[in-house]
A and B are shown apart, each in its own frame.
Chain A
Amino acid sequence: MNVFDMYTLGLGNVFRWEVLLMLLLGVLFGLIIGVLPGLSVTMGIAVLTPITFSMDFYSAMAMLLGCYAAGSFGGSITAIVANIPGTNGAIMTTVDGYPMGKNGLAGKAIGIAAIASFVGGFISCIVLSLTSGTIAKFAMDFSAQEYFAVGVFGLSIIAFLSQGSMIKALISGVFGVLLATVGGDAITGSYRFTFGSMQLMDGVPLFPVLIGCFGVAEILRTVSKKPGEIQMVTHVDKVLPTRKEFTHVLPTIASGSVIGTIIGAIPAAGGTIAAVISYGVNKRFSRNPEKWGHGEPRGVAAPEAANNGACGGALIPLLTLGVPGDAVTAILMSSLLFHGVTPGPMLFTTKPAAVSSIFILMFLSNFLFVAIGIAAAKPICKAIRTPVKYLIPIIALLCCVGTFCIKNSTFHLVFLIAAGVVGFLFSKGGIPVTPMILGMVLGNLIETNFRKTLLITKGRFFTIFTRPISSIFMILTILLLFMPGIISLIRKARGKKASATTQENDFDNEVQ
């Protein structure tokens, strides 16, 4: 099947009223979730996921991808008018966005953020659709060794990039892999860690744990804080930038989009890191960096283009290798699997319509959120003032009802509550929960391919280093795991050298 046929098939599946309606609802929900401080895109997608179970694949993907793309943009509005990043990816937008708002340019800042997010998202979609087929073809030659190496590398890079202690992140990730071993063993068929429970024979249910860790835990975190009064910029006027203003920010948008797409494709890097790097790089190469931080429009464009560029980028490893790079793509992967679509290189040959539909939906999401974001900037700003005391109980109810819907089982609600409490306590103790979820998602892939490798090589595991791709990933994994230790040793050695030199100089001075 050629690319044209693939897209024709995708267009037929996407351009149906129910799919477009779900896309619109997903975009609206994503915008609201993104705008409301304290509610993340991950939480929004976690809450939406069980609702999409009763839909067909295309409607479900429309809703989830719409929420994903729009939520990443929505966070910027709160950053501009209230100096609070609505989502983590909008952290850098506050730096110049809020000063612009205070200078009476809130509308312009929102307009620039919307256009930058749109261009970032659009370019990343183009890269996604152009490169993923080639990457998938390349990945077709992967055997058990390569898949094991990619899975372990994915977990390690997530632990490496997690904030705080890497050891805590690694424990969280390995614990997630251990949870994935509960239930039937894929190779021998025997049951593990079920302790006689019929319900555990299918394993630890992933969706209740996902909704618990990202939905309930966030609810518990929000209600544990004292609600504060939000200081807002109330004047939002002309939203669309003039041609001159647009030309001024265009190069920044272009570079931010490229940075976002590349960073997004790296597992675990995500929109926040992309936004920070894009802001830093663009400021570094700016002719007048002193203006940045005081309401410079390019300071809004750079992070916004990057954090939406990361959305399309993050889908590349998910669709081509079946390896999710962050929490959102882990949820998306689970949804794909629920609808019988297994991400990975074979997806491009077995389900080309599903792949092209995902690409088209990502493109459409970008058009929709930019249109709604620009047209409805003023009412969206008002939504920021909605008190969380009215929203949180409704979201908590949606988490419970949605979890029950998965298998009509109250047993799943037990997992939801337990995962919520664990997620809440983990966050208090600085233990990242995302590695655990990715461990659960990747656990089966890692274990099955690890044991297949041992079977193929008759127990000689180290043959994994004789194959070029698997050896590259394994070496990178080892480097990632030992890099913090090596860096601190080098720093200590340098520190000792420096102090020794200072002492020598002091001694020389005393002698003189």
Chain B
Amino acid sequence: MKKFTLIFSGIMIAIGVGAIIEASRYKKYPLSQGFGAGFFPIILGGVIIGLSVILIIQTLVKKDDEKISGLNWESLWRPLVFVICMAGFALLLKPLGLLLNSFWFVAVTMITMGAKWWKSLIIAAVTAAVIYVGFDVLLGVPFPEGILGGVL
């Protein structure tokens, strides 16, 4: 946990410094405009840096260290597959369209979860059809048509 907290604090300090540098480029103190666009982000950047420094000191002073549970390959591979599938869903939505994209997404993630492949394919097909009818046909959301555009 200590390592994680220190990395988190480091990232937050970097964000705080970045915010101050970027916000310093905006007009800060024209009183007539109520303390410019950069004024508040600079304060926030400063507060984040200050709090992160306190967190670092607290973490270093603390003697005991809790172990973060579930940060190993066995418990992280499934979340990783889900994230990759979601990224794939975003990338392939335009070329494949809603129906096909929903089908492969549900099928792959369900098999990842340990479901039998044939059950996954059936549920994926039904889910994709329901999602397509619900969102595209009934709610009228203009989803990309993809390669099935001419057929549907």
A and B assemble together = yes
The answer to whether the Cβ of A480 comes within 8 Å of any Cβ in the partner chain is: no
What is the interface of chain A mostly: helix, strand, loop, or mixed? helix
Residues of A within 8 A of B52 (CB): 171
How far does the Cβ of B142 sit from chain A's closest Cβ, in whole Å?
6
The answer to whether the Cβ of B44 comes within 8 Å of any Cβ in the partner chain is: yes
Q: With the chains together, A192 CA to B37 CA distance in Å?
A: 8
Interface string of B25-65 (1 = CB under 8 A from A): 01100010111111111001101100110110010000000
Most B-side CB within 10 Å, residue of A51, A175, A221, A413: A175
Quick one: closest B residue to A216, CB to CB? Answer: B86
Residues of B within 8 A of A165 (CB): 55, 58
Please tell me the size bucket of the interface on A: 35 or more
Residues of A within 8 A of B34 (CB): 187, 451-452, 454-455
Residues of A within 8 A of B39 (CB): 451
Say whether A405 contacts B135, CB under 8 Å: yes
Residues of A within 8 A of B38 (CB): 192
A175: contacting residue among B48, B79, B83, B89, CB under 8 A: B48
Quick one: closest A residue to B52, CB to CB? Answer: A171
Q: With the chains together, A451 CA to B45 CA distance in Å?
A: 16
Say whether B35 contacts A171, CB under 8 Å: no
The answer to whether the Cβ of A168 comes within 8 Å of any Cβ in the partner chain is: yes
Say whether B79 contacts A397, CB under 8 Å: no
How far does the Cβ of B52 sit from chain A's closest Cβ, in whole Å?
6
How far does the Cβ of B29 sit from chain A's closest Cβ, in whole Å?
9
How far does the Cβ of B10 sit from chain A's closest Cβ, in whole Å?
12
Say whether A171 contacts B48, CB under 8 Å: yes
Interface string of A158-180 (1 = CB under 8 A from B): 00000001011011001101100
Residues of A within 8 A of B113 (CB): 223, 388-390, 392-393
Say whether B47 contacts A174, CB under 8 Å: yes
Residues of A within 8 A of B93 (CB): 404, 410, 413
Say whether A400 contacts B4, CB under 8 Å: no
Q: Tell whether A401 pairs with B131 under 8 Å between CB atoms, given A192-B41, A396-B109.
A: yes
Q: Tell whether A428 pairs with B4 under 8 Å between CB atoms, given A167-B55, A389-B113, A416-B86.
A: yes
Q: With the chains together, A177 CA to B43 CA distance in Å?
A: 11
Interface string of B131-152 (1 = CB under 8 A from A): 1000100011111000000000
Residues of A within 8 A of B135 (CB): 401, 405
Q: With the chains together, A342 CA to B113 CA distance in Å?
A: 42
Residues of B within 8 A of A392 (CB): 109, 113
Residues of A within 8 A of B35 (CB): 451, 454-455, 459
Q: Which of B86-131 contact A (CB under 8 A)?
A: 86-87, 89-91, 93-94, 98, 102, 105-106, 109-110, 112-115, 123-124, 127, 131
Pick the 4 closest A-B CB pairs, nearest first.
A389-B113, A455-B34, A413-B90, A393-B109
